[in-house]
Amino acid sequence: MSGKPVDIKDELRDTFAGLREAVTPKNGGRVLVAGPCSAESREQVMSAAVGVKEAGADVFRAGIWKPRTRPGCFEGCGAAGLEWLKEARCLTGMPVATEVATPLHVEQALESGVDVMWIGARTTVNPFAVQEIAEALKGCGDVAVMVKNPANPDLELWIGAMQRLYNAGVRRISAVHRGFSEYGRSYYRNPPQWHIPIELHRLMPRLQMLCDPSHIGGKRELVGPVARQACALGFNGLIIESHCCPEKALSDAAQQLTPSELKELMISLVGKPVSDTSADLMMLRSRIDMLDDELLEILVKRMAVSDEIGELKHASNMPVLQPERYEALMESRVDKGTAMGLDREFISGMLAAIHAESVRRQLAMRNR
């Protein structure tokens, strides 16, 4: 790739504009992409497509190629399933979507007329793979591409993947938040870390953002709560796995809804008209602004004291970092913040960031 990259922040168009079948979201203005994790058979694909259309889906999704952690698991039906997607589109009138991970996948999907492709988390994490996919998509202006966040919480890597597609001429790009891998015990399969997609929206407000509650939750009973959180945060749509017989699914059986469960969920998500609370909201936001100003002033004062401590340490030839005191302070203040009703992880992260900035400033003093 040569030349100056194109800035994508102000130029992205609606992902689903101009597809072969026009998409008019039926779910309170949100796009719903739904279907089974994997295309397993022609009969299963047709049944799922009809089911999710009845549930209110705008786009039918099904994985053809399935990247698995270990060999020996069901790795998808392969290119043969593309014919089933074509038939499902003719049957239901919905655009169809599938995941691509290699240039060959892109080539075969294009030949079959796939409307929407998505790049999975394990591919987004690899810039070389994304660049190859971008090159394979050059000149394919009618295809929409959804980019899932990388498995690790790296916002720049996520933006970089979309930048590569944009530089290759792809314009119908959307981001899909599917949570981030956490190696250890967690309530979620992939904890959402909502602050990351929120920051992405702040940086790129015109970018269409969808949420994948199936992969965040990892369990059928968590799909609804996560979907409701995403809607409350203003996501433009959802991508949800739905199988006519989830207990028999060849992949991701635990997190797939039946079409009837999907329909119930979507009905529950269609919000009631919002009453006019603009005056109250403005007052509350004004209070937030004042409190934020106070927080900033307190931080400035704290850093000034930290600078004085740094000068004394330097004059006394003391080390900048004193681990025992740091550990004791963190423990006591995190406990205090938790007792006051603050989230333990939040207060721990905030205090760690403040301490890191204090250490940075004190080290900078010694390098003057």
Contacts of 41 (CB under 8 A, 6+ apart): 77, 84
Q: Do 197 and 313 sit in the same domain of this protein?
A: no
Question: Are 168 and 143 in contact, with CB atoms under 8 Å apart?
Answer: no
Number of domains within the chain: 2
Give 198-241 pLDDT, tens digit per residue: 999 988 888 889 999 999 999 999 999 999 999 989 898 999 99
| 38 and 185 co-located in one domain | yes
What is the rounded distance in angstroms from the CA atom of residue 228 to the CA atom of residue 361? 42
Question: Domain boundary residue among 242, 269, 296?
Answer: 269
pLDDT tens by residue, 296-349: 999 999 999 999 999 999 889 899 888 888 899 899 999 999 999 999 989 999
**What percentage of the chain has pLDDT greater than the value 90?**
65
pLDDT of residue 14: 59
Provide the H-helix boundaries in the chain: 42-54, 80-92, 103-111, 121-124, 127-136, 155-167, 195-203, 213-217, 220-232, 259-269, 278-315, 323-339, 344-366
Query: Residue 335: its pLDDT value, please?
Result: 94
**pTM for this prediction:** 0.79
Examine the domain organization and report whether 135 and 256 are in the same domain. yes
Given pLDDT bands bounded at 50, 70 and 90, which one contains residue 20?
A: very low
**Does some domain include residue 8?**
no
pLDDT value of residue 238: 95
- For 259, how many CA atoms within 13 A lie in the half-sphere containing its CB? 18
Is residue 223 located within the same domain as residue 302? no
Residue 333, SS3 per DSSP: helix
Is residue 17 predicted with pLDDT exceeding 60? no
| CA 178/CA 124 separation, integer angstroms | 12
Flag whether pLDDT at 255 surpasses 80: yes
The overall average pLDDT reported for the chain is: 88
Confidence of residue 24 (pLDDT cuts 50, 70, 90): low
Structure confidence at residue 18 as a pLDDT band (50, 70, 90): very low
pLDDT band of residue 135 (cuts 50, 70, 90) is: very high
Note down the domain range covering 167.
31-269
Reading the block at residue 245, the tokens are: 């017989």
